[in-house]
Amino acid sequence: GSELGNWALGHWNEEGYDLFENFPELNTILWGAEERGWVPQKVPNHFIPIPENYLSENASVAVETRAIISWMEKIPFVLGANIHGGEQLVTYPYDMAKPQNSKVHQHEEAEYGEEATDYKETPDDAVFRWLAIAYASTHLTMTETYRGACHTDDSTNGMGIINGGKWKSTIGTMNDFSYLHTNCFEISIYVGCDKFPHESELAQEWENNREALLVFMEQIHRGIKGTVKDKDGKPIANATIAVEGVNHDVRTASDGDYWRLLNPGEYQVTAKAEGYSATKRRCIVGYEIGATKCDFVLAKSNWERIQQIMALNGNRPIRLVMPGSRLSPRDRLRLRIRMRMRARMRFRHRLRNQRLFNTTTAAPTTTTTTWATPTTTSVLLPETTQTVTDESMVTWEMETWQMETSTRSPFTTVETYTINFDDDSY
């Protein structure tokens, strides 16, 4: 019974590891990437990889923790709970509070000698609150907090639920790891004030929690579920299921099936996978128990060919201009300058070839050569082929360039360049 139990026992194993707080800490990886704008381009918002130092043989990781992680990675769990004693409430992620770097918090840290923190909600905070209240409201005594909590004042405002980081910030918990590394939504349930109840009290403790446990397990059938396949009916594993407005995705299992916990409402859901074109559809979640079925069929994309083209361009973004689309004034100016330079290079190249041809066919130096200098005008248009003669004057007229200004009336600019050549030009 409690009179013989040690409150320092329970979480720790024989090697001295607190099993609940022995999981990889992935929160700072995600939060740091969010501050830098790397999510989801460089760092995903789900299935965050485990750091290599945690996976090393010399890492301070319990054998039981490694076994649980391996188990969670093999089986696509959807809903989970870990049960504790000594309190009577339900906590939900994030269990770790986010450090604050503002001047106010820095002052608090210097004054009190500890780092100031603030709890952070998950993108699925509404779903976690639903799961927590489903248990707490069904428990026989968990919401009866008018006499206070088990050992201190009630911090749940009579609801029996609280954010884990707001209640007691903890690093490396199973709840945060499950949410950030797997598809599983997991909460912590503190079933009673007595951490080590006496044998005679076990029957009543079971009655207090029996219906709450059943109701909690039923919540797995709330949200959407379905399969992701290609047009040939083959399942697509590791496809991403993204819900618009919720910055946390889930993945399909090896058979292409998925489960996504959601509160009642209407959602725009997108399924995407590497090598396939993304597909979006509307999914409606009702209040009745039973997940809404939302299947997706993805078509093959030409992403491999796009990657080859980008590799030829040095993996730099390629700007595409659609035919018939309007160009901005800056793009038109760039296009005009580029076409002008191309025309100049072609013009100089042809004059050089013409001069070389005249030099090889010219008479001996003792013979007087007369160059005709009629006034001839040749118009060179971009991307056209012109025959350059040996006249001494060539007038080059550029194409007309129209650009819309802030008013509705466009203006036209015609630029004419005159280049004179004679015997002394070279």
Dihedral (CA of 80, 156, 26, 49) sign: positive
Q: For residue 413, give the DSSP letter.
A: E
Kindly state whether residues 54 and 124 are assigned to the same domain.
yes
Q: What distance in Å separates the CA atoms of residue 29 and residue 42, rounded to the nearest whole number?
A: 12
- What's the pLDDT score for residue 418? 39
Phi, psi of 369, deg, nearest 5: -105, 130
Kindly state whether residues 121 and 159 are assigned to the same domain.
yes
Kindly state whether residues 50 and 188 are assigned to the same domain.
yes
What is the 3-state composition of the chain as percent helix, strand, coil, each rounded to the nearest 5?
30, 20, 50
Kindly state whether residues 26 and 83 are assigned to the same domain.
yes
Cβ-based burial of 244 (10 A; exposed 0-12, middle 13-18, buried ≥19): exposed
Kindly state whether residues 209 and 230 are assigned to the same domain.
no
Structure tokens, 287: 């209040």
Q: Are 85 and 196 in contact (CB under 8 A)?
A: yes
Q: What distance in Å separates the CA atoms of residue 290 and residue 217, rounded to the nearest whole number?
A: 12
Structure tokens, 110: 């210097």
Name, in order, each residue with C-beta under 8 angstroms of 35's C-beta and a sequence gap of 6 or more: none
Q: What is the CATH number of the domain that holds 302?
A: 2.60.40.1120
**Domain final residue pick, 290, 312, 334:** 312
Q: Number of folded domains in the chain? A: 2
End-to-end CA distance of the chain: 109
Cβ-based burial of 285 (10 A; exposed 0-12, middle 13-18, buried ≥19): buried
Residue 343 in domain: no
* Peptide bond preceding 417 in cis form (omega within 30 of 0): no
Q: What distance in Å separates the CA atoms of residue 8 and residue 5, rounded to the nearest whole number?
A: 9
Kindly state whether residues 281 and 200 are assigned to the same domain.
no
Q: What is the CATH number of the domain that holds 148?
A: 3.40.630.10
**Domain final residue pick, 283, 312, 341:** 312
Q: Are 254 and 237 in contact (CB under 8 A)?
A: yes
Residue 266 in domain: yes
Kindly state whether residues 40 and 84 are assigned to the same domain.
yes
**Domain final residue pick, 186, 221, 256:** 221
Given a cut of 70, the residues of the chain with pLDDT beneath it are: 1-10, 101-117, 147-149, 317-324, 360-426
Q: What's the half-sphere exposure (Cβ side, CA atoms, 13 Å) at 296?
A: 30
Q: E strands within 231-323? A: 240-243, 250-251, 257-260, 265-272, 279-285, 292-293, 296-298
- Domain containing 129: what range? 19-221
- What's the pLDDT score for residue 86? 86
DSSP string, 49-67: PPPHHHHSTTSS--HHHHH
Q: Residue type at 418?
A: T
Kindly state whether residues 32 and 167 are assigned to the same domain.
yes
